[in-house]
Amino acid sequence: MNDYLVKILTETLKKLYPDVQIPEITIEKPRIVEHGDAATTIALQLTKLVGKPPRNIAQEIKEALPSGGWIQEVEIAGPGFINFRFADSFLFDKLAEILNAGSEYGKGTQLDGKKYLVEFVSANPTGPLTVGHGRNAVLGDTIARLYEWIGADVDREYYFNNAGRQMRVLGASVSARYQQILGKNTELPEGGYEGEYIRDIAQKLVDGKGDSLLSDPDNIIFKETAEKLIFDDISRTLERMKIVMDSFFNENDLYENGSIQDVLKRLREKDLIYDEDGAVWFRTTLFGKEKDTVLVKSTGEPTYRLPDIAYHCNKLDRGYDKCIDIFGADHIATYPDVVSGIEVLGYDKERVDVLVYQFVTIVMDGKPFKMSTRKANFVTLDELMDEVGADVTRFFFLMRSPGTHLEFDIAQAKESGEKNPVYYLQYAYARIQSIMRKVFESYKFEGEANLSLLTHEVELKVIKDLMEFPEWIASAAMSKEPHRLINYLNEVATDFHKFYHDCRILGEDPALAYARVRLLAAVSMVMANGLSILGITAPDRM
């Protein structure tokens, strides 16, 4: 409908003001239902260009617009807002289109032909995925799903590092536990990993190798075994959350293939790095920072920024139109340096888009529960899913704006009633299935339903809700805010419940019952499509 309104408004304005450069026309949904179904401020935008009061311009537009068609009424409000009311016949036509589209309804073409890479999770294999990783994982996967629904070809990538100090500490931690199991009085290394999973890995080595490794406590087998078992565990956790990665990229490859040295060489040729105090510094003051930034420490170990610059060059060299990074708030100070780095190396920084999300606090018994992978007082994603289920876990990670801190309340998540927000949506879908089963036991419908019988104000409101589905998908995708889709589905569910209260089906005239069943079928389909984008089950029964 928005496209239709923009089209007829553009044609009308060209006729009214042929010498005026028409500004971009935006269509919005009025906040107050009584103000109509759609509105535009174009008359206010044209005031200076046309040289007339906005209400006068609005009146001229109203009188010049074509009559009939999909618009039932045009009203002028306030200083010059133009409000539109849809014709009922238009609503019935749109409902028929929705029903015909079926499971494809809601898909758009905004990103047709575009190739996107979404990089997310990207936890090093030093331990199981925790709740801290969960929000990243679910946001990344859902944003990828949203992009796919509006036409993009999307790859999901997991970036990790199996080298460096963290992995050395991991191997040493497993070695220490291995020795302890075999009766040695061995301490964990400084900053070692204390989780029970380390002892489990060590026990597997004892079971498979016996005490043959006692003479070689620095053997690489400790690190390699831990990496493999932890990655296997990570993959199972992701699969349980309905997340499947298309590729895994190892940071260590950037060292082995020379990409790291190539970045340093190119930056040095541009006089953008220099040596001081044994370290290599990036001239980030040239990009507005107060201080230059270390790329390579005096120990010879790169900071995160250097391999990240090389990695992003690699991603862009693979031909992606857009590379999306899902980062926690702890990256807020580092990623701008990476973006500056790729830009000075000749890449279009607009091809990199970063979503920074705030962290999650687990609330148990009304109190925050602190997490630390090393100290082992963390909640794993698997433990969370064991407690509340995969659907609830995904939903809770998505139900707030990524930019806001999220409190994951275990007690609320375990509710089986309307206090649990995911239950509210799933129950609405299941109730529709129950209604339809009962209706089809009582009626035998033939031919096409007469949708023009849907004249109740609640029925018309539901149709208008369903018409907005594609716009909400596109909005959630382009803003990288999946919670917008949740808000939309909540509105659909709320209006369905009003329909259920005000509009009977059983006992009604068969023609009206048939029309209402078709409306319910459309609601059911939109709910199922929306939940599938969120990665959440649409249950037939609850």
Render pLDDT for 364-382 as a digit per residue (tens, 0 to 9).
Answer: 777 776 655 445 566 889 9
Average pLDDT rounded to a whole number, residues 469-491: 97
Query: Is 274 inside a domain boundary?
Result: yes
486 shares a domain with 353: no
> How much is the pLDDT for 66?
84
Residue 462: which CATH number?
Answer: 1.10.730.10
> How much is the pLDDT for 375?
52
328 shares a domain with 253: yes
Query: Is 265 inside a domain boundary?
Result: yes
Residue 263: which CATH number?
Answer: 3.40.50.620
Whole-number average pLDDT of the chain? 93
Separation between Cα atoms, residue 251 and residue 245, nearest integer Å: 16
Average pLDDT rounded to a whole number, residues 452-460: 96
Asked which of 39-48, 120-129, 245-254, 413-422 is least confident by mean pLDDT, the reply is 413-422
- Domain ranges, residue 37: 2-86
pLDDT reading at 36 higher than 90: no
Give the percent of the chain with pLDDT over 70.
Answer: 98
At 475, list the tokens.
């909005």
521 shares a domain with 430: yes
Query: Is 66 inside a domain boundary?
Result: yes
Asked which of 25-39, 272-286, 486-500 is least confident by mean pLDDT, the reply is 25-39
> How much is the pLDDT for 371?
52
Render pLDDT for 388-435 as a digit per residue (tens, 0 to 9).
Answer: 999 999 999 999 999 999 989 888 888 877 778 899 999 999 999 999
353 shares a domain with 446: no
Separation between Cα atoms, residue 59 and residue 53, nearest integer Å: 10
- Give the three-class secondary structure for 357: strand
336 shares a domain with 256: yes
137 shares a domain with 43: no
CA atoms within 13 A on the CB side of 307: 18
Where is 204: in which H helix or E strand?
Answer: helix 196-209
Query: Is 233 inside a domain boundary?
Result: no
348 shares a domain with 290: yes
> How much is the pLDDT for 456?
96
80 shares a domain with 103: no
Separation between Cα atoms, residue 524 and residue 169, nearest integer Å: 52
Q: Which residue has the higher pLDDT, 72 or 228?
A: 228
275 shares a domain with 422: no
Query: Is 259 inside a domain boundary?
Result: yes
> How much is the pLDDT for 277?
93
Average pLDDT rounded to a whole number, residues 151-179: 94
> How much is the pLDDT for 506?
92
From the CB of residue 185, how many other CB atoms can be counted at a distance below 10 Å?
6
Report in angstroms the alpha-carbon separations of 493 from 96, 352, 531.
20, 36, 12
149 shares a domain with 106: no
Render pLDDT for 297-336 as a digit per residue (tens, 0 to 9).
Answer: 999 989 989 999 999 999 999 999 999 999 999 888 889 9
Asked which of 327, 357, 387 is the last residue of a domain, the reply is 357
> How much is the pLDDT for 163?
79
pLDDT reading at 354 higher than 70: yes
Query: Is 454 inside a domain boundary?
Result: yes
Separation between Cα atoms, residue 386 and residue 414, nearest integer Å: 11
Residue 64: which CATH number?
Answer: 3.30.1360.70
> How much is the pLDDT for 224?
95
> How much is the pLDDT for 523?
98
146 shares a domain with 35: no
What's the number of domains the chain is made of? Answer: 3
256 shares a domain with 150: yes
Strands of the sheet with 279-282, listed across from one edge? 273-276, 279-282, 293-296
Nearest-CA neighbor of 394 among 524, 207, 536? 536
> How much is the pLDDT for 33?
79
Query: Is 381 inside a domain boundary?
Result: no
> How much is the pLDDT for 376?
57
According to DSSP H, which parts of 120-195 are helical? 131-149, 165-181
Asked which of 336, 357, 378 is the last residue of a domain, the reply is 357
Query: Is 220 inside a domain boundary?
Result: no
> How much is the pLDDT for 69?
75
Asked which of 2-11, 197-206, 263-272, 510-519 is least confident by mean pLDDT, the reply is 2-11
Separation between Cα atoms, residue 145 and residue 262, nearest integer Å: 35
At 247, list the tokens.
């590729």
Asked which of 325, 357, 389 is the last residue of a domain, the reply is 357
Q: Per-residue confidence at 164, pLDDT binned at 50, 70, 90? A: confident
